[in-house]
Amino acid sequence: MLETATNKPPVDPQIEEEKSTPLFSEVWKSFRKNKLALIGALIVIFLILLAFTASFFAPEGINEQKLSMRLQPPSADHWFGTDDFGRDILSRVMYGARISLRVGFIAVMGSIIIGTLLGILAGYYGKVVDMIISRIFDILLAFPSILLAIAIVAILGPSLRNALIAIAIVNVPNFGRLIRSKVLSLKEEEYVVAAKSIGMKDSRILFHHILPNSLAPIIVQGTLSIATAILEAAALGFLGMGAQAPEPEWGRMLSDSREYIQDAPWTVIFPGVAIMLTVLGFNLLGDGLRDALDPRMKH
């Protein structure tokens, strides 16, 4: 009798392995099959390492002027050439990676926090709360993002910090509307209805049940938005409303070198290529994460 009670039906090893496979492993397995996504990840990793190690590997100081060496073409001494003040462009591009990535990550993090909070409140409570927050999103989206960013910086004053604030504000509706739509579907799920029925507080439902199940689209949108934020920061810097001289921000470097585009094209080419590769890397990474995290994209 004891032997019968302890007997268990055989378990298929393949089924048991599938049950025990962590979500991260599944996402990574899907992600690494996407070659373009891996290229994007490598570009992003390279840029992050470049930003962290600029102090050690930059050939010269970012503001070290050698007027006798101004506008020198690329050579063994200056791989990317020099600008109109004789400063080493390679060093400035390396330090520029630090500025651009900082702007991208901090601005997007601010957008995620504010947009997610507003989106959760709008989607969960609905009615008047939803109407007010949705109208705020509509007003912000009624303006082209770069024009709205320019207007905000014009009010606050031109600086890298104010450009960062402006970029964060213009990207809030993207996350807010994304999370709102996700919450509208999640709040009808059985586990949320059950949590409400037992009297669980709204704050616990929102931050322990709904928010964790909304992280996948936030991660994807956040990665893609970093590319957009870096591009907007470069545009503001080019217009003189972002980073101010002598900061080695890529957009500012393009603005300072535009009058030498014919005589010294390398002063424009290398900062421009840096912007292009950075935006490309984050876009490829974001597309790969979207395909890996969205079950509907799996074949």
- When mean pLDDT is compared across 30-39, 69-78, 185-194, the lowest value belongs to 185-194
What's the pLDDT score for residue 187?
Answer: 79
CA–CA distances in Å: residue 150 to residues 36, 101, 153, 158, 175: 33, 20, 5, 9, 21
- For the cut 60, the answer to whether the pLDDT of residue 5 exceeds it is no
What are the boundaries of each domain within the chain? 35-297
12-21, 43-52, 181-190, 205-214: range with highest mean pLDDT: 43-52
- pTM of this prediction? 0.83
- For the cut 50, the answer to whether the pLDDT of residue 169 exceeds it is yes
* pLDDT per residue as tens digits for the range 127-166: 899 899 999 999 999 988 899 999 999 999 999 999 999 9
CATH C-level class of 35-297: mainly alpha
* pLDDT per residue as tens digits for the range 197-253: 887 887 888 888 888 888 888 888 999 999 999 999 999 999 988 888 888 889 999
- When mean pLDDT is compared across 14-28, 43-57, 259-273, the lowest value belongs to 14-28
- For the cut 70, the answer to whether the pLDDT of residue 11 exceeds it is no
DSSP assignment of 232-293, as one string? HHHHHHHTTSSS-TT---HHHHHHHHGGGTTT-THHHHHHHHHHHHHHHHHHHHHHHHHHHH
What's the pLDDT score for residue 268?
Answer: 92
* pLDDT per residue as tens digits for the range 39-57: 999 999 999 999 888 888 8
Return the SS3 of 261: coil
